[in-house]
Amino acid sequence: MSSFMNMTCPNVTCLHPEQNQIFVGVYSVVFIFGLTLNLTALVVFFRNSKSSSHTTVYMIHLAFADILLVCTLPVRIYFHSVLGGLHLTVCKLSGLVMLSNMYSSIFLLTCISFDRCIAVCFPLSSLVREGRKKAWCVCLGIWILTIATSLPIYFTKKTKPGEHNMACFGGFPHYATEKAPLVSTLIMGFGIPLFIMILSSWGLIQAISKSTAVQTSDLIDSARIKRMIITNLTIFLFCFLPYHIMLLILHFKKCTCTLLTAYRYSLMVACLNAMLDPVVYYFTTETFRKKMDVESVRKIWPMNSHSSDGNARSRAPFTT
């Protein structure tokens, strides 16, 4: 019944000029800052490749995923600026890249959280050390999984008459709200990653709270580490929870302009993750944090540009 009702969902009348201005503005900000910050992150990571950890491997792939995602945003900016004018094939390819990289980001963020947790909780385990060395293999598996599972959404459904223009980014997400894809998305694409992130975050906080070395050392800021963990989990929930809730609501409720608008806003919020992920890099990687701090100081006080941060590195806090 829900699928039948969704087929009558209005498209054209749900796109209002003032809402399109919001989409154009937000997508433009995410594109500019997301591209700049993630490119900066990659430069920092590759320049410090000799001192990079296994967690950094996941963050490099996460930065690539975010860059690919933000590179699809100009298509959406153009669509919301002129209300159409795009070939449906362009929309499908753009949507495919966005969707696959959104879930790549979810899985990579989960891997970062899990990798950090086992590194701290089981520092002496040879099995954990060997497993962490497989980071590149895990990343390759994530890329294959997300691309393979995203393809059916855009290439199994036939285009209906009249969908060439407004259905580009204004139509109802028919395939994503069907029962089988929806259950798979909610469980495999979001539910399990969220559970792992919560469990990993709890494990990290417990390990830090019970560690005598952490509590007594002046070199380890346990409060900052806990803020990092909470910040990462908050960003994850803020960006991805609304989108998946809207998919569930659209499956059960009759399609209306209000629901369609809420769905589009939830997708826009999900895209904010590409701009917020550098916060994860900043808090997770001490090298990245110090590099950014030094570069900022050099821009403000050019006379100190020859100073070294070597002494600061010797005081590196509790990181993985």
The amino acid occupying position 304 is N
Q: How many CB atoms lie within 10 A of CB 170?
A: 22
The amino acid occupying position 138 is V
Contacts of 260 (CB under 8 A, 6+ apart): 9, 10, 14, 172
Question: Residue 180 has what pLDDT?
Answer: 87
CA-wise closest residue to 103 among 6, 247, 230: 247
258-274 tens-digit pLDDT:
888 899 999 999 999 99
The reply to whether 293 falls in a domain is: no
Question: Residue 241 has what pLDDT?
Answer: 96
Phi, psi (deg, nearest 5) at residue 174: -60, -55
168-204 tens-digit pLDDT:
776 778 878 888 889 999 999 999 999 999 999 999 8
The reply to whether 21 falls in a domain is: yes
The amino acid occupying position 310 is G
Question: Residue 222 has what pLDDT?
Answer: 66
Across residues 235-264, what is the average pLDDT? Answer: 91
CA-wise closest residue to 194 among 230, 251, 166, 233: 233
The reply to whether 244 falls in a domain is: yes
The reply to whether 190 falls in a domain is: yes
204-221 tens-digit pLDDT:
888 877 766 555 555 455
The reply to whether 302 falls in a domain is: no
Distance CA 197, CA 195 (A): 5
The reply to whether 114 falls in a domain is: yes
The C-alpha R_g of the chain, in whole angstroms, comes to 22
10-69 tens-digit pLDDT:
544 577 778 889 999 999 999 999 999 999 989 888 887 665 678 889 989 999 999 999
- Containing structural domain, residue 70: 2-287
The mean pLDDT value of the chain amounts to 78
Question: Residue 168 has what pLDDT?
Answer: 76
Sign, Cα dihedral of 249, 250, 254, 256: positive
Cβ distance 101 to 149 under 8 Å? Answer: no
123-165 tens-digit pLDDT:
778 888 888 888 999 999 999 999 888 877 666 655 554 444 4
The reply to whether 117 falls in a domain is: yes
- Calculated CA dihedral for residues 234, 238, 243, 245, nearest 10 degrees: 70
Q: What is the largest CA-CA distance in the chain?
A: 70
Question: Scanning the structure block, which residue is given the tokens 């962490």?
Answer: 132
Higher pLDDT, 273 or 85: 273
Cβ distance 68 to 39 under 8 Å? Answer: no
Q: How many domains does the chain have?
A: 1
**Could you tell me how many residues make up the chain?**
320
The reply to whether 305 falls in a domain is: no
Higher pLDDT, 17 or 9: 17
Contacts of 144 (CB under 8 A, 6+ apart): none
CATH number of the domain residue 112 falls in:
1.20.1070.10
Question: Scanning the structure block, which residue is given the tokens 């994530």?
Answer: 142
Query: pTM for the full model?
Result: 0.82
